[in-house]
């Protein structure tokens, strides 16, 4: 298939080109995101390959259909940027990569957690300045603490397994609690209220939907255990940033680790060192010494990139051959 790949960086190109050796598609890489301003680049292609922050609203989808595009093969798990109803209306199939490397994201969640809890980012900066003092670097043991994991999909399960390895008590929340999973992972499925009140650490692994948007808000932050740590490696929109800033200013949280941010489009994945950061809320977040933000890099391992590329191109191949699309998304 002729596939227009949008929002690409060097690591995307390398992985997709390597994986394409066995798939044989015609790939054209574009740096801009796919949106209303760039949709014209899709002219002459059978499929488009967007990433997590591309915007395929109804207008964009209609223009893609007019250009003859028949497939949107997402190279990510999230699809909240795609108008699925419009795709169905125009006969455009949509596929995704539901699980590229759950271990990559789960391990990054714990990298953030350990860095925040043990003040690694502060210590690193100090030592670089030849300051070897320990004042202000007191953390706490994870062993024996309670971790609340919201979302028991593959990434959530990998997170729970790591937490159990640290000797933590694990509480899990999911719309579809699984007794067998609880037994095998040594976790306990509970209500959200129980997690807010009992968890020392809360890690988010939920999809972003109308119901989950701003799940962490002023009310739920107030119900969290004083001194809790919040980790989000899932979707930025799960957290109300304004409410999070209020909680941080009030000292209700001992730490926050974010790999995603609700207004990350146009910021994350970009180099703004020359132009500066225009987002006041994100700039304020970065001033807190107990907040660590990374730029949506939880997926960024060699293994995950290759899995993403292979599944993305495999989805396109299955569509081209008229096979069942096991990773299709329906409205």
Catalytic residues: 235, 264, 296
Report d(CA 261, CA 284) in Å as an integer: 13
Report d(CA 253, CA 193) in Å as an integer: 17
Nearest one of 256, 257, 146, 142 to 199, comparing CA atoms = 146
Contact assessment for residue 147 and residue 201, using Cβ atoms and an 8 Å cutoff = yes
Contact assessment for residue 128 and residue 104, using Cβ atoms and an 8 Å cutoff = no
Strands 71-73 and 93-95: parallel
Full DSSP string of 16-75:
HHHHTTTT--EEEE-SSPPSTTTGGGGTT-SEEE--TT--B-HHHHHHHHHTT--EEE-S
C-alpha angle 266-149-181 in degrees, rounded to nearest 5:
125
Report d(CA 72, CA 82) in Å as an integer: 9
Report d(CA 110, CA 142) in Å as an integer: 11
Contact assessment for residue 49 and residue 30, using Cβ atoms and an 8 Å cutoff = no
Dihedral class, residue 19 (left if φ above 0, else alpha if ψ from -120 to 50, else beta): alpha
**Per-residue three-class SS string for 104-154:** HHHHHHHHHHHHHHCCHHHHHHHHHCCCCCCCCCCCCCCCCCEEEEECCCH
Contact assessment for residue 236 and residue 261, using Cβ atoms and an 8 Å cutoff = yes
């Amino acid at each position: 298939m002729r596939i227009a790949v949008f929002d690409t960086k060097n690591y995307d190109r390398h992985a997709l080109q390597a994986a394409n050796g066995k798939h044989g598609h015609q790939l054209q890489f574009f740096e801009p995101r796919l949106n209303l301003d760039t949709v014209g680049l899709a002219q002459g292609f059978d499929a488009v390959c967007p990433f997590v922050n591309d915007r395929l609203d109804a207008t964009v989808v209609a223009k893609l259909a007019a250009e003859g595009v028949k497939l949107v093969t997402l190279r990510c798990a999230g699809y909240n940027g795609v108008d699925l109803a419009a795709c169905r209306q125009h006969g455009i199939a949509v596929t995704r990569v539901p699980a590229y490397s759950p271990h990559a994201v789960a391990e990054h969640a714990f990298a953030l957690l350990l860095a925040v809890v043990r003040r690694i980012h502060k210590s690193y900066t100090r030592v670089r300045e030849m300051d070897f003092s320990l004042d202000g670097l007191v953390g706490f043991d994870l062993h024996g603490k309670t971790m609340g994991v919201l979302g028991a999909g593959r990434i959530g399960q990998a997170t729970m397994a790591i937490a159990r390895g640290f000797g933590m008590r694990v509480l899990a929340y999911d719309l579809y609690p699984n007794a067998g999973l609880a037994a095998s992972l040594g976790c306990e499925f509970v209500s959200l209220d129980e997690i807010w009140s009992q968890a020392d650490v809360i890690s988010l692994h939920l999809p972003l939907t109308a119901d989950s948007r701003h799940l962490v808000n002023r009310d739920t932050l107030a119900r969290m255990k004083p001194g809790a740590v919040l980790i989000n490696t899932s979707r930025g929109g799960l957290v109300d940033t304004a409410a999070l800033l209020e909680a941080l200013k009030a000292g209700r949280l001992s730490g926050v680790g974010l790999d995603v941010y609700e207004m990350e489009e146009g910021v994350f994945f970009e180099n703004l060192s020359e132009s500066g950061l225009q987002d006041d809320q994100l700039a304020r977040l970065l001033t807190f010494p107990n907040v660590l933000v990374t730029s949506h890099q939880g997926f960024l391992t060699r293994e995950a990139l290759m899995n993403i590329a292979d599944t993305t191109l495999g989805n396109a191949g299955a569509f081209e051959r008229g096979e069942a699309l096991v990773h299709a998304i329906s409205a």
